[in-house]
Amino acid sequence: MQILDLVRQSLRDKNAEQQLRSYFIGLQGVLAFLFITPFAAMRFFNDELFKAAIDIILVLGMGSLSTYTLLFANKRHINFIVYVFASFYILGSIAVVYFSDIYTVMWTYAAAISSYFILSSKQAILASLAILISCLIIGFSRFTAEEVFLVSTTFVLTCILSFILSVQITHDRRVIENHSFYDALTGAKNRTLLIRELQNAIEEQVRSKKNLSLITFDIDHFKTINDTKGHDIGDQVLKEIVYTANSLLKPEQNIYRLGGEEFFILTHCNDNQSKLLAESIRDLVEKTPNSSDLTVTLSLGVAIYKQGESLQSWTERADKALYASKENGRNQVTVAA
Amino acid sequence: MLLFGSTKENTLKLERLLKRLIFLRRLIGSLYSLIFTIFLFSLNSLNAAYVSILLTVLAPSVYGIALICKASKNTLQHIANASSIIFAVGNVAIIYFAQDINFIWLIIYPTTIAVYSSSTSRYKSLVLFFSIFTVFLILYPILPSYPLLVFLMTYTLVFTFSHLFSMHINIDNQTLAQLALKDSLTGLQNRRALEMKMSEESSSIEGVIFLDIDWFKKINDTHGHIFGDDVIKALGDVILKNKALSDEAYRYGGEEFVLTCKHAKSSKLSAEQIHKKVQEIEFQNGCHITVSVGVALKNANESLTELIKKADQAMYQAKQTGRNQIVFATELEALYLNKRES
């Protein structure tokens, strides 16, 4: 039970992709032990001591590495361990083809597929190419032409299909992770990410003393649009506004949607620049023709971060500025005091 | 910011790559069979070559016809499942017909992973198990025991890894499907999930509860949007904790929630319970909230869409007549419920 706790502990401080990798490394250690040890024993009793020694080195190396990964390894170690593991696969494949009889070429298939579980897709392609080329060079004198053809085509097909599967898994994992940070409708970042990044920005501001400003905006009479034109048109309007506003932002400036029709933009501009940016967003949204022929306007509030201010009071000031814009007749920008 | 800044673009790039790869996969399968046909002809294994021709032509032509006929996504998937099984059986047949070619059994490795990568069928492992068993029976008389052992062991490894691959993809697909129907703020189901349910023809829903937070705009304006979101989150929690087990909760829009109930009686109980508990929530700044609730019960042959509309109107009624109350869609229904209770 204590061991399980250790495993859980070491898995907890890794991200999803690294967790998956350490889990696979652990599994492959077990499989290596189960599948290679019998052959080591067999070779030992057949008096093929050298080959038995290679087998034992493979088993011990992979076994101890996977144990270490599961129990102790942290984030930084794991990237290194992955490379060591992959080199075991390559060297092991070369060794079996070089030292053993011709049939052992079958081991390379297992080694190649295994590498797709622990390396990134591109690295795994390189590893399997290395295995293929070295095995062909070594085995060329012992294989007939048909055999070379069979080995290379089946091996390449196996690798391509594994590559596609591993790209698919990486893709799905990323999408799942993104889902918790991005708004599905507009593609803007969501509230979870807003709070996290505002906190990070404040922490960094304490050190760097850079300008930090928050622009918040809200669509005027959005409820009326939703009620009279239906939610589909409302959704369309939201999407188009994010698209329009995004066209004015630099790559490092992001839009956050808090649900509903409220948005935030975090920038490193000073008060003048932020006001100009806010004005240009307001102007562009007003002038951009809308797919549903509605005039959509925005009310905006700008709040510059004051030294030592809390997150709460900062966002509240931005909100109040937005509220003031609404009070004064909408479709305008107010800078918070 | 840097940590997450590039993730989205990377994902888009990956998505494009994946689409191309999946297209490539179909191409590669046929190309591989074609090359193999030529190889088998050159070695004079005619029977095996015929099978290989069949594999080259069959899958793409069936798939092409299906595409031309504009078959549904489901049909295409069934075709892919069937053709992957045919691919497995065909490759076993090739091994059988071309026994005299050394190392011919190697084609079973890519076959395994091909079946796993294109089939979503639950029975693919079973099919592969039987095909590998057949291959073993074919190889048993021709191979010495040592290579046979190596073959079995390495094949087991390849099989295990392919299985793991497909298992992970299945799990991820399920998670993705669930995420698409979930509201990220409250963890309830979202509007899309409700719309899917509305499009189902027969529903066992007996009642609908429609909730709306009172004065939410004002809360947002005075306490800020972040607090407004906290309110919605807290309400989501209360709904989850106080609804009947058979009820399903959805976040309908900004501050609107919908519950669908399987039993007419539970809809009244849930509505009352939630209405009561919402008033007991205490926020850090001492703020309290109330909700207006509309309840509609099913009359004969009413659809879920109509029920939701009725509940919405009842909620509107509750707003008009003073907020912080429950209104039933018709007085008759309220009477009916009281009678059943007594």
- Chain B residue whose CA is closest to A200: B1
Least confident residue range of A14-18, A303-307, B159-163: A14-18
User: What pLDDT does residue B4 have?
Assistant: 32
- As a whole number, mean pLDDT of residues A47-74 equals 85
Mean pLDDT of chain B: 83
Report yes or no: B324 and B290 within 8 Å, Cβ to Cβ.
yes
Distances in Å between the alpha carbon of B57 and those of B33, B54, B64, B204? 9, 5, 11, 48
Over the stretch A293-303, which tens digit does the pLDDT of each residue have? Answer: 778 899 999 99
Rounded to whole angstroms, the Cα distance separating A271 from A251 reads 20
- As a whole number, mean pLDDT of residues A162-189 equals 80
Rounded to whole angstroms, the Cα distance separating A228 from A292 reads 12
Phi and psi at residue A253, in whole multiples of 5°? -95, 135
- As a whole number, mean pLDDT of residues A25-39 equals 88
- Neighbouring-strand partners of residue A255: A265
- As a whole number, mean pLDDT of residues B245-256 equals 86
Distance from CA of A39 to the nearest CA of B (A): 9
By the CB < 8 Å criterion, does A144 face chain B? yes
**Torsion angle of the four alpha carbons B270, B275, B279, B285, in this order, in degrees rounded to the nearest 10:** 90
Least confident residue range of A12-26, A219-233, B192-206, B257-271: A12-26
pLDDT level of residue B340 (50, 70, 90 thresholds): low
Angle value at C-alpha A153, between A128 and B20, nearest 5 degrees:
70
Which residues of chain B neighbour A216 with C-beta distances below 8 Å? 225
Over the stretch B266-290, which tens digit does the pLDDT of each residue have? Answer: 888 889 999 999 998 888 888 888 9
Q: Residue A272, exposed/middle/buried by CB under 10 A (0-12, 13-18, 19+)?
A: exposed
Percent above pLDDT 70 for chain A: 93
Q: Is the pLDDT of residue B337 over 60?
A: no
Looking up tokens 């599994």 gives: A27
- As a whole number, mean pLDDT of residues B82-88 equals 87
B256 is catalytic: no
Considering A61-65, A191-195, B300-304, the range whose residues carry the highest mean pLDDT is: A61-65
Query: Among B255, B282, B331, B341, which one carries the catalytic annotation?
Result: B255
pLDDT level of residue B93 (50, 70, 90 thresholds): very high
Q: What is the DSSP letter of A102?
A: G
Cβ separation of A172 and B24 shorter than 8 Å?
A: no
> CB neighbours (10 Å) of residue B119?
23
- Higher local confidence (pLDDT), B201 or A175: A175
User: What pLDDT does residue A337 have?
Assistant: 77
Which residues of chain B neighbour A173 with C-beta distances below 8 Å? 172
- As a whole number, mean pLDDT of residues B110-139 equals 88
Report yes or no: B93 and B48 within 8 Å, Cβ to Cβ.
yes
Closest residue to B157, CB basis, from A110, A200, A316: A110
Cβ separation of B180 and A252 shorter than 8 Å?
A: no
Give residues 202 to 231 of A whose Cβ lies within 8 Å of B: 216, 226, 231
Looking up tokens 């084609």 gives: B107
> CB neighbours (10 Å) of residue B36?
26
Q: Which two tokens stand for residue A184?
A: 């599905």
- Chain A residue whose CA is closest to B170: A169
Q: Is the pLDDT of residue A17 over 60?
A: yes
Cβ separation of B103 and A151 shorter than 8 Å?
A: yes
Cβ separation of A146 and B1 shorter than 8 Å?
A: no
Which residues of chain A neighbour B88 with C-beta distances below 8 Å? none
Angle value at C-alpha B179, between B173 and B185, nearest 5 degrees:
165
Which residues of chain B neighbour A299 with C-beta distances below 8 Å? none
Q: What is the full DSSP assignment across B98-116?
A: TTTSTTGGGGHHHHHHHHH
CA A305 to chain centre: 31
User: What pLDDT does residue A12 have?
Assistant: 63
Over the stretch B20-40, which tens digit does the pLDDT of each residue have? Answer: 888 888 788 888 889 989 999
Report yes or no: A114 and B157 within 8 Å, Cβ to Cβ.
yes
Q: Is the pLDDT of residue B2 over 70?
A: no
